[in-house]
Amino acid sequence: MVSRVIPVDPFDLVIFGGTGDLARRKILPGLFRRFTAGQMPGDARVIGAARSELDDDGFRKMISDAISEFIPKDERDPKDVKAFLEHLHYVAIDARGTDGWNALGKLMRKDVVHAFYFSVSPNLFGDLAERLHEHKIIGADCRIVVEKPFGRDLASARSLNDTLAKHFNEDQIYRIDHYLGKETVQNLMAVRFGNILFEPLWNAQYIDHVQITVAETVGVGGRGEYYDKSGAMRDMVQNHLMQLLCLTAMEPPAKFDPDAVRDEKLKVIRALDPVPHDDIVRGQYGGADGQPSYKEDAENSSSTTESFIAMKIHIANWRWNGTPFYLRTGKRMRNQVSEIAVRFKEPPHSIFDEDAGTNANELTIRLQPNEGMDLRVTIKEPGPGGMRLIEVPLDMTFADALEQNGSDVPDAYERLIMDVIRGNQTLFMRGDEVEAAWAWTDPLIESWKERGDKPKPYDPGTAGPEDALMLLHRDGRRWREIKP
Ligand code: BG6
């Protein structure tokens, strides 16, 4: 099945930080794929803006190399690459000075959508906004896109929001959390609100608990300096896992529109109870088989930053009272798994003999890899010998069910950039949402700092520290296995 492509309006997209890692790895390869899918209008322009003294040709060469590096060979026809590169332009610009701004102003066309992607360090956001304003490059139909991390605590997030608000309205600001662009994350909303089947059971009366896991096999090597100041809480929980939690727990919005969806997510964040320190386990990977430990990767031998975190969260509202949400995420774990597992309660009364066994249903939404859904149901074990119950999976891998191949499914960045051009903010974080997430996160971080808490060591290639297992064991539950 080939996905339906709806072309977007003509645009000029300026990427500040156009020669940086994100632009080369994700943004421009993503745009190339939208181009080959036929979604980019013929006169669309992508303008790289950065400090390096390049011209259009130099930038095109750089992006041609990036496409060769990040797009598989069978998905890049040289003719397409050549045609795509013609859409690219470059302006050498000084975010804090005057160089390049007049040239950028002249390049921008009237009557097309203007989008400015701030793929730069957040401490330049204010300068960029100011220069765009000074040089009158901001038109009415303009949007800005900002990347995570959006602040490192409530105070810095507020100050960033205030800085941007000087020149842009909230409906012009697109704060990216790339998890929201993932196909299966959106599927979570489709599954919950597009079916009658799940919603009546989607509450504390029928759901025993929810597990959200984002496990990665990679370490932090290469970005240790950033990561050591963030840790798993700031890098993953405050944003990506929080978004997954919100989409799982929120009330049905009245419409699938930006504010209706974001209002409901915000209510979930505001209903989160503070987490007692006994309900948080932080871990840090050691080294093994010649692979560096976290401390070596971070080049900080006394680091107390967590590369793993597990926590038990309560949402204090009518729907979820008594149903814990267990979250865990970590680096250098046994396997790459991102999933949301909803464990239902057992039936209230069994009509079968005690030795028939009992099972609880479980719905798992696999975000990656192998995107799909798995519903565990109870059936009779086939064969003679009376009624014995077993659990079987109703397992669906989306790619098989929809006869898709990987290239039909847009990557998160592709979708999100096209949403920016379309002016659809549903999959972007609103300012108050980000602030509420920090308001919940800050006291947890402060509390472990005050206590001088040190993360528990764990072996790479495992499911994290032992204490994380205990977090569920002591409640009579167990984590889903992270299979090798
Ligand atoms: C990023 C984090 O936002 O998300 C990284 O900074 C993490 O530490 C990455 O590895 C995970 O994204 P994905 O799409 O690979 O699950």
Answer yes or no: is 291 within a domain: yes
> Is the pLDDT at 402 greater than 60, yes or no?
yes
Answer yes or no: is 317 within a domain: yes
Q: Are residues 96 and 216 in the same domain?
A: no
Task: Take atom 5 of ligand 1 and give the residue whose Cα is closest.
Answer: 235
Q: Rounded to the nearest whole angstrom, what is the distance from the C-alpha of residue 180 to the centroid of ligand 1?
A: 12
For residue 86, what are the domain limits?
A: 11-147
Contact 391, 378 (CB under 8 A): yes
Q: Which residue has the tokens 């764990």?
A: 458
Q: Are residues 96 and 228 in the same domain?
A: no
> Is the pLDDT at 215 greater than 60, yes or no?
yes
Q: Rounded to the nearest whole angstrom, what is the distance from the C-alpha of residue 179 to the centroid of ligand 1?
A: 9
End-to-end CA distance of the chain: 31
Q: What CATH number has the domain bearing residue 36? A: 3.40.50.720
pLDDT at 199: 95
Q: Which residues contact 297 (CB under 8 A, 6 or more apart)?
A: 219, 220, 221, 224
Q: What is the mean pLDDT of residues 359-388?
A: 88
Answer yes or no: is 256 within a domain: yes
How many residues comprise the chain?
484
CA–CA gap between residue 287 and residue 293 (Å, rounded):
4
Q: Are residues 134 and 189 in the same domain?
A: no
Q: Are residues 297 and 403 in the same domain?
A: yes
Last residue of a domain, one of 147, 170, 199: 147
CA–CA gap between residue 29 and residue 36 (Å, rounded):
11
DSSP annotation of 303:
-
Q: What is the mean pLDDT of residues 98-118?
A: 93
List residues with catalytic annotation.
Answer: 240
Q: What CATH number has the domain bearing residue 381? A: 3.30.360.10
Which of the four pLDDT bands, split at 50, 70 and 90, describes residue 454? very high
Q: Rounded to the nearest whole angstrom, what is the distance from the C-alpha of residue 3 to the centroid of ligand 1?
A: 26
Last residue of a domain, one of 122, 147, 172: 147
Contact 428, 176 (CB under 8 A): yes
- pLDDT tens for residues 235-256? 999 999 999 999 999 999 999 9
Residue 15 pairs in a beta bridge with 48, 117
Which of the four pLDDT bands, split at 50, 70 and 90, describes residue 397? confident
360 or 283, higher pLDDT: 283
> Is the pLDDT at 409 greater than 90, yes or no?
no
Q: Are residues 206 and 120 in the same domain?
A: no
Q: What is the mean pLDDT of residues 68-79?
A: 93
Ligand 1: residue of 216, 285, 429 to mutate (most ligand atoms within 8 A of CB) is 216
Task: Take atom 15 of ligand 1 and give the residue whose Cα is closest.
Answer: 216
Nearest atom, ligand 1, residue 179 CA: 14
Last residue of a domain, one of 147, 172, 207: 147
> Is the pLDDT at 286 greater than 80, yes or no?
yes
Nearest atom, ligand 1, residue 239 CA: 3
Q: Rounded to the nearest whole angstrom, what is the distance from the C-alpha of residue 66 to the centroid of ligand 1?
A: 20
Answer yes or no: is 269 within a domain: yes
- pLDDT tens for residues 152-189? 999 999 999 999 999 999 999 999 999 999 988 888 99
pLDDT at 122: 87
List the structure tokens of 172: 């012009």
The verdict on the CB of residue 216 being under 6 Å from ligand 1 is: yes
Contact 328, 215 (CB under 8 A): yes
Q: Are residues 189 and 230 in the same domain?
A: yes
pLDDT at 162: 94
Helices (H), 71-214: 78-85, 101-107, 125-134, 154-165, 183-194
CA–CA gap between residue 198 and residue 212 (Å, rounded):
18
pLDDT at 290: 86
Q: Rounded to the nearest whole angstrom, what is the distance from the C-alpha of residue 242 to the centroid of ligand 1?
A: 14
Answer yes or no: is 483 within a domain: no
Q: Are residues 399 and 313 in the same domain?
A: yes
Q: Phi and psi at residue 227, in whole multiples of 5°?
A: -65, -35
- pLDDT tens for residues 300-337? 999 999 999 999 999 999 999 999 999 999 999 999 99
Closest CA to 456 of 265, 309, 346, 315: 309
> Is the pLDDT at 405 greater than 80, yes or no?
no
11-16 and 113-118 strand pairing: parallel
Task: Take atom 10 of ligand 1 and give the residue whose Cα is closest.
Answer: 216
Q: What is the mean pLDDT of residues 447-469?
A: 96
Q: Are residues 120 and 35 in the same domain?
A: yes
The gap from C-alpha 399 to its chain's centroid, in whole angstroms, comes to: 21
pLDDT at 387: 86
For the entire predicted model, the pTM comes to: 0.94
Nearest atom, ligand 1, residue 216 CA: 10
Q: Phi and psi at residue 376, in whole multiples of 5°?
A: -85, 125
Residue 229 pairs in a beta bridge with none
- Beta carbons within 10 angstroms of residue 390's beta carbon: 13
pLDDT at 168: 93
Nearest atom, ligand 1, residue 230 CA: 6
Answer yes or no: is 329 within a domain: yes
pLDDT at 407: 53
Cis peptide before 410 (omega within 30 of 0): no
CA–CA gap between residue 204 and residue 344 (Å, rounded):
9
Q: Are residues 125 and 193 in the same domain?
A: no
CA–CA gap between residue 348 and residue 372 (Å, rounded):
29
pLDDT at 3: 58
pLDDT at 235: 96
Answer yes or no: is 358 within a domain: yes
Number of domains in the chain: 2
Q: Are residues 359 and 278 in the same domain?
A: yes
- pLDDT tens for residues 329-373? 999 999 999 999 999 999 988 888 888 877 889 999 999 888 888
Average pLDDT, the chain: 93
Q: Are residues 245 and 138 in the same domain?
A: no
- pLDDT tens for residues 3-46? 568 888 999 999 999 999 999 999 999 999 999 999 999 999 99
Answer yes or no: is 326 within a domain: yes
Ligand 1: residue of 148, 218, 236 to mutate (most ligand atoms within 8 A of CB) is 236
pLDDT at 441: 98
Q: Are residues 246 and 301 in the same domain?
A: yes
The verdict on the CB of residue 235 being under 6 Å from ligand 1 is: yes
**Helix crossing, 431-450 with 154-165: angle to 10°?**
160
pLDDT at 276: 96
